[in-house]
C-alpha cells in the first residue's frame, strides 16, 4: 500500500497527516481520497501530487513502496 502524506490545507481537509492507500493508480487514489475526505474535493484539483518526488499522470501505477505527497498551493513571496 502506498503511503500518502498530506501537507498544510490538504492535511486540514483530510484530518490526517498520512495514511496507507491501496488504489492501483494515481487517478484511482485521487478519486477515492475525494470520496472519503469530501473537504479536500475543493483543493485537490489544485494540489501538486508527487509520486516518489515527481509529477506523474493519473494513469501511473502505484506500488506498495510508493510515497505520494499531496501539496496544496502555497502563498509566499
H or E element, residue 7: none
Q: What is the pLDDT of residue 76?
A: 56
Q: Are 42 and 34 in contact (CB under 8 A)?
A: no
- Grid cell for residue 67: 510515497
The 10s digit of each residue's pLDDT in 53-62 is 999 999 999 9
Query: Domains in the chain, ordered, with CATH?
Result: 2-71 (3.10.20.30)
The 10s digit of each residue's pLDDT in 20-73 is 999 999 999 999 999 999 999 999 999 999 999 999 999 999 999 999 999 998
What's the pTM?
A: 0.92
Amino acid at each position: 500500500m502506498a503511503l500518502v502524506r498530506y501537507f498544510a490545507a490538504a492535511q486540514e481537509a483530510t484530518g490526517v497527516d498520512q495514511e496507507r492507500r491501496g488504489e492501483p493508480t494515481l487517478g484511482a487514489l485521487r478519486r477515492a481520497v475525494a470520496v472519503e475526505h469530501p473537504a479536500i474535493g475543493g483543493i485537490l484539483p489544485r494540489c501538486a501530487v508527487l509520486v516518489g518526488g515527481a509529477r506523474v499522470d493519473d494513469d501511473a501505477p502505484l506500488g506498495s513502496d510508493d510515497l505520494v505527497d499531496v501539496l496544496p498551493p502555497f502563498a509566499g513571496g
